[in-house]
């Protein structure tokens, strides 16, 4: 089954540069993975995040000064952030024991 998501971005949309890191160990095989983890592709346009690679079911957090100020479970390929959030944040996407993170400005 092939699912396609059509996302319309404006010229002002910016790609979020995400890094990947492991968080905690959940037991099991602790060796080197056979394939690299796929870092999500995310664009930000004003207060809307667009996910080119699906993150449905992952946890999204915005962290400011070490404090989580917003958290939600990603339900679709488009997430509208609260308009009341302004400033610089670390955007975090948590998937199992992987953390994808990058800086955003709202």
The pLDDT tens digits of the residues spanning 63-75 come to 999 999 999 999 9
The pLDDT tens digits of the residues spanning 19-55 come to 999 887 655 445 555 677 889 999 999 999 999 999 9
Range(s) of the domain holding residue 75 = 15-24+39-105
Give the global pTM.
Answer: 0.81
Query: Does residue 75 sit within a domain?
Result: yes
CATH number of the domain to which 60 belongs? 2.60.40.3080
Q: Which of 41, 45, 53 is nearest to 102 (CA)?
A: 41
Q: Could you give the strand order of the β-sheet that contains 48-51, starting from the edge strand earlier in sequence?
A: 14-16, 42-45, 48-51, 78-80
How many domains, in total, are found in the chain?
A: 1
Strand, coil or helix: 79: strand
Query: Does residue 58 sit within a domain?
Result: yes
Question: The tokens of 28 are what?
Answer: 């099991």
Query: Does residue 43 sit within a domain?
Result: yes
* Helix or strand run (H / E) with residue 49: strand 48-51
Query: Does residue 29 sit within a domain?
Result: no
CB 63 within 8 A of CB 92: yes
pLDDT of residue 3: 43
Query: Does residue 85 sit within a domain?
Result: yes
């Amino acid at each position: 089954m092939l699912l396609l998501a059509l996302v319309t971005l404006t010229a002002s949309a910016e790609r979020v540069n995400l890094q990947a890191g492991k968080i905690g160990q959940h037991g099991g095989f602790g060796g080197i993975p056979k394939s690299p983890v796929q870092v999500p592709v995310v664009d930000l346009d004003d207060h809307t995040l667009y996910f080119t690679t699906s993150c449905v079911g992952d946890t999204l957090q915005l962290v400011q000064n070490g404090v989580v100020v917003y958290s939600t479970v990603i339900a679709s390929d488009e997430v509208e952030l609260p308009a009341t959030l302004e400033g610089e944040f670390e955007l975090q996407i948590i998937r199992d024991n992987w953390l994808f993170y990058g800086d955003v400005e709202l």
